[in-house]
Amino acid sequence: MHPKQERKRKLLAAIEYQKDFNIDVLLDTVALNLKVRGNYLAGYTQYEVKDPKGRCPVMKLRNLKTDETIRISQAMGIESRGCRMDAGALADVSGKLVNELEPKIQLLIINRFGKAETEGHGFRNVIEEAFAMEIPILTTVRAPYVEGWSSFCGELGETLPTMPYEILNWFDEIKLEENTLATMEL
């Protein structure tokens, strides 16, 4: 048996983006491309639904395995300026996702590494559990939370540009490295 070689690509990757960039469309595009190629994905992508009364849009998560949607935002008034994230709903989704983790998952997609995760909440426990299971993890991180992401993952993670080709290339390289390591262990 050969000793395990060090990976060139990191199992933890975050797509770094700016506030006005439509990260949800990019993440959905990547997830759809990987599913069409026959990969087994878990996790959530995010989308927003316009509110007919002019309030902030409703934030929802889409489960990549079941297509189930879950609302994660609170109904706020028109003049509201605070965070509209429903911490309870996010905790429920996170708990469900931890229970769905299994070794055959080829990629876990988490819609955001944001304020909640930077503070030790949100999907952070899911990311930690998946990493312990050696499941590759793809998330997104906006500029204000890049430092929190870097502090959380240190040398174990990397950031990716907002270019679908680069993101898919990262995943393909992860799969190639896993296949190579598995072959070497035989």
Task: State yes or no: pLDDT of 186 exceeds 60.
Answer: no
Phi, psi of 147 (to 5 degrees): -65, -40
Q: Is residue 70 part of a domain?
A: yes
Confidence of residue 58 (pLDDT cuts 50, 70, 90): confident
Average pLDDT over residues 163-182: 88
DSSP letter for 3, please: P
Q: Is 20 exposed, middle or buried (0-12, 13-18, 19+ CB in 10 A)?
A: exposed
- DSSP H or E segment with residue 44: strand 41-49
Count of domains for the chain: 1
pLDDT digit string (tens) for 6-34? 668 899 999 999 999 999 999 999 999 99
Report the CATH number that the domain containing residue 172 is assigned in CATH.
3.40.50.300
Which amino acid, 45? T
Q: Please, which pLDDT band fits residue 85 given cuts at 50, 70 and 90?
A: confident
* Rounded CA separation 3/136 (Å): 21
User: What CA–CA distance (Å, rounded) separates 112 from 17?
Assistant: 11
Angle at alpha carbon of residue 133, lines to 132 and 134, rounded to 5°: 90
Q: What angle do CA 23, 27, 31 make, to 5 degrees?
A: 170
The reply to whether 106 falls in a domain is yes
Domain containing residue 56: 12-185
Full-prediction pTM beyond 0.95? no
Given a cut of 50, whether residue 106 has pLDDT beyond it is yes
Q: Is residue 2 part of a domain?
A: no
